[in-house]
Amino acid sequence: MDLFDKCYNKLVADSRAAGIYPYFHELESRQDVEVIMEGKRRIMLGSNNYLGLTVDPRVIEAGVKALEKYGSGCSGSRFLNGTLDLHVQLENELAEFVGKESCMTFSTGFQSNLGIISAIVGRNDYMICDKENHASIYDGCKLSYGKMVRYRHADMEDLEAQLQRIPESAGKLIITDGVFSMGGDIAKLPEIVELAHKYGARVMVDDAHGLGVLGKNGRGTADHFGLTDQVDLIMGTFSKSLASIGGYVAGDLRVIDYARHASRPFIFCASIPPASCATALAALRILKETPELPKRLMELSMYMRKGLRERGVAIRESVTPIIPIYTYEPEATLRKAKELYDEGVYVNPVLPPATPADECLLRTSYMASHTEALLDEALDVIERVIGHTALEQ
Range of the domain at 379: 3-55+291-391
Does 38 share its domain with 64? no
pLDDT in tens, 250-303: 999 999 999 999 999 999 999 999 999 999 999 999 999 999 999 999 999 999
The pTM for the full model equals 0.95
Do 147 and 253 lie in one domain? The reply is yes
Counting beta carbons within 10 angstroms of the beta carbon of residue 288, is it exposed (0 to 12), middle (13 to 18) or buried (19 or more)? middle
* Nearest residue to 153 (alpha-carbon basis) of 170, 134, 131, 177: 131
Question: Is 44 in the same domain as 92?
Answer: no
Residues 233 and 134 in one domain: yes
Same domain, yes or no, for 167 and 194? yes
Counting residues of the chain whose pLDDT is more than 70, the rounded percentage is 98
Q: Are residues 375 and 262 in the same domain?
A: no
pLDDT class of 1 with cuts at 50, 70, 90: confident
Last residue of some domain: 249, 268, 289?
289
173 in the same domain as 25: no
Residues 64 and 198 in one domain: yes
Q: In a 10 Å sphere around its CB, with 0-12 CB exposed, 13-18 middle and 19+ buried, how is residue 56 labelled?
A: middle
Beta strands in 192-272 (DSSP E): 202-206, 233-237, 247-251
**Distance between CA atoms of 92 and 90, rounded to whole angstroms?**
6
Between the CA of residue 148 and those of 97, 103, 356, what are the distances in Å? 31, 25, 20
Pairing of β 348-350 and β 233-237:
unpaired
Q: Active-site residue numbers?
A: 181, 209, 240
Has residue 385 got a pLDDT over 80? yes
CA dihedral over 141, 145, 146, 147, signed as positive or negative:
positive
- The per-residue pLDDT for range 136-178, each reduced to its tens digit, is 999 999 999 999 999 999 999 999 999 999 999 999 999 999 9
CATH label of the domain that carries residue 95: 3.40.640.10
Specify the number of domains making up the chain: 2
Q: What is the pLDDT of residues 24-53, one digit of tens each?
A: 999 999 999 999 999 999 999 999 999 999
Is 179 in the same domain as 226?
yes
Tell me: do 231 and 104 sit in the same domain. yes
